[in-house]
Structures are given as structure tokens and as C-alpha cells.
Amino acid sequence: MLRRFFAPIARTPPIAERERLDLRVGGEHRPVLIRRSAKARRYTLRLKPATRELVLTMPARGSMAAARDFLERHEGWIAARLKSLPDAIRFEAGSLVPLRGEPHRIEHRGGARGVAWVERASDGTPLICVAGAPAHLSRRVADFLKKAAKADLETASRLYAAKLGVSIKRITIKDTKSRWGSCSAQGSLSYSWRMIMAPPFVLDYLAAHEVCHRREMNHSPRYWALLRGLCAETDRAEAWLKTNGSGLHRYG
């Protein structure tokens, strides 16, 4: 008999069934990812700069009506945060894209042989030249940058591993959104290919950062002492990434 006085308990959707809401901000539709959490006591909203994705975390038993009301009340905050993000820059002819910290202009050379290469214009402007049909230009620029990132990170990682006297295994390049690099317990390293757009001292620092995890799989004071002893640019690179890192996701 008592059952009639209790509202049914809503099941928390499994991760594979996360809900989404469509929000209209500044005349544009913005999808919002809904994450229910058993630990959440209130509604919280964040914007991922890398993906420009809105994520709303809500209590496990929260209602979608309350979630929408929360979003609509914070529409001004959302609009301001979106406006503060740098404009996206496509890989297309004429775009300026940093390579090892130096802006390069993409130039299409449709009738040329090859795929993609670097040269300087007559006025000294650094260029990323791309051959082939215009439809392939964006992919070829991305492939060129990823190949350059793999080469530079491989060289830096193996150099630091030799200095520390540790072994490393496979090195892979990905397009990670939350971390610039990682090191597995088995010694495999993974990096964001976007590091090739940062100045060389930042890329070198990241390689040293991950290689040091072969000695210390943590971020303890002992780890940071080891890293600073291996890479003198640690603090400078950390400051650069904190200030400029999210901007690397605007390209491509």
C-alpha cells in the first residue's frame, strides 16, 4: 500500500546512452551533452575549448526539464564563453598555420608533383605547399603535420630516454582533447600531433615529461625534480601551454 506514495526512481542512463539537449544560443543550435552523476548535488556547466562542446553534469535523479531550465538561465554565460573562443581556422589555401611555432601560409600548387612540403616565398614568408586536387588539400596538410609531429617527437623521446637510461616502446600520434601526452606502464608513449604547431622547446618539454614517467609514474615532487633536471625549459613550457595550448585546437 505504501508504494503509491513514492515516485518511481529513475535509472541513471549508462554511459553509452548519455542524453543530449539542443540549446539555441545567439541564433544557433548548440548540442549539450548531459552527464548524470551519482556524486553530483547540483547542476554544473562547462565548455570544452578544444571541441567547443557544452557539458552539463546533473544529479542522477535530476529531470531534463530542470536541466533545460538551468541551461536557459545561463544562456548569457554560454554566449560569452563561446564568443571568447578563438575563431576556427581551416586547412585551406591562404590560411596561416603555425609549424614549430612559426606561422606558415598554406599555398595550393595544383600542378606540382609531390604531396606537401615547406618552402619560403620570394618575400621570405614560410609556406606549406600542397599539390594535387583542391579536395585533398585539407587532408594533405593534416597528414603533413602529423608526419612531422611523429618524427620530432620520436627523436626527442628517444634522446631523453637515452639520457635517463630508460627504455620506451611504441610512440603513437593522436588528436587528444584533454591531454597532450601519456605514458603507459609498459613504456608506450602517446602524443597529440598538435604539438608540432607549438615552439620546439614546448615539444621537447612534452617528450621529456612523458619519458620521465618511465622512472616515476606519478607527479610527485621527486618526479618534478627529475623532469626539471632533464629539461631546463620545464617551467617556461608549462606556462606556454597554459596560455596558448587550447588555441592549438582551433586549427583544422
CA-closest candidate to residue 29, choices 57, 69, 71: 71
Where residue 106 sits, what CATH number does that domain have? 3.30.2010.10
73 in any annotated domain: yes
What is the domain extent for residue 120?
Answer: 96-250
Residue 157 clears pLDDT 80, i.e. is over it: yes
Q: Which segment, 11-20, 36-45, 133-142, is predicted with the most confidence on average?
A: 133-142
Residue 6 lies in a domain: yes
Please check whether residue 89 lies inside any domain of the structure. no
* Whole-number pLDDT of residue 23: 83
- Residue that finishes a domain, picked among 84, 115, 147: 84
164 in the same domain as 60: no
Mean pLDDT of 83-112: 94
**Which of 52, 84, 116 is the last residue before a domain boundary?**
84
For residue 217, is pLDDT > 80? yes
Per the CB < 8 A criterion, the answer to whether 213 and 166 are in contact is: no
Do 129 and 152 lie in one domain? The reply is: yes
Percent of the chain clearing pLDDT 90 (strictly above): 71
Is the same domain home to 53 and 148?
no
Would you say residue 160 lies in a domain?
yes
pLDDT in tens, 170-207: 999 999 888 999 999 999 999 999 999 999 999 999 99
Residue 36: band (very low, low, confident or very high) from pLDDT cuts 50, 70, 90: very high
| pLDDT (mean) for 132-157 | 97
Q: So what's the pLDDT on residue 18? A: 60
Nearest to 210 by CA among 235, 236, 192: 192
**pLDDT band, residue 137 (cuts 50/70/90):** very high
Question: In terms of domains, do 63 and 153 share one?
Answer: no
DSSP-assigned states of every residue in 177-217 = SS-SEEE-TTS-EEEEGGGGGS-HHHHHHHHHHHHHTTT-S
pLDDT tens digits, residue range 115-136?
A: 999 999 999 999 999 999 999 9
| In-domain check, residue 161 | yes
User: In whole numbers, what is the pLDDT of the chain averaged over residues?
Assistant: 90
Candidate ranges 54-63, 72-81, 195-204; pick with highest mean pLDDT: 195-204
Other CB atoms within 10 Å distance of the CB of residue 24: 11
pLDDT of 2: 38
pLDDT bucket at 78, cuts 50 / 70 / 90 = confident
pLDDT at 6: 38
Contacts of 107 (CB under 8 A, 6+ apart): 93, 94, 121, 127, 128, 129, 130
**What mean pLDDT do residues 36-40 have?**
91
- Regarding whether 79 and 101 lie in a shared domain, the answer is no
80 and 101 belong to one structural domain? no
- Looking at residue 92, what is its pLDDT? 97
Q: How much is the pLDDT for 11?
A: 47
